Amino acid sequence: MLTSKRTRKVEIPGEEGEWALIKPASLSDLETAREVGLKALSEKFRQSKEVLDLLPNMDMSDAARDAKGDPYAGIDLPTLLSRCVVEWSYDGEITPEAIGDLDEATARFLAEQIYQPRETEAGKAVS
């Protein structure tokens, strides 16, 4: 499937009348979002390790466990959303600044919708 040819409109929960037109994440979208996200995550771990090295009885396994619990660890959500949100009902253009102004719940909702498996005609998810 060519992702640029498939879009769908989703209603933003808790915001009556607000919607976004999204496309599924392409291989290129995911790779770019992972590249940006992993770079940021690596920097956070480096900084955490520097701080943890100063504290007694602490190790990086706690920080690693926290990252594993987040399904978007390693993915830069603003990058993913800016590449996959095609149009929205909010005032203004879709820009990195506007994407960055979304609240976390809305950003995660849109990311979940972008990752949601598409349905086939028989109603079964296609991976």
- Please tell me the pTM assigned to this model: 0.67
Handedness of CA 98, 2, 127, 42 (dihedral sign): negative
Range of the domain at 74: 3-119
Report if residue 125 sits inside a domain. no
Report if residue 29 sits inside a domain. yes
Helices (H), 4-103: 27-54, 61-68, 77-84, 96-100
**Per-position pLDDT tens, the chain of length 127:** 778 788 999 999 999 999 999 999 888 898 888 888 888 777 777 776 666 566 555 444 555 545 556 667 678 899 999 999 999 999 999 998 999 999 999 999 999 999 865 554 444 444 3
What is the reported pLDDT for 115?
Answer: 80
Report if residue 19 sits inside a domain. yes
What is the reported pLDDT for 122?
Answer: 43
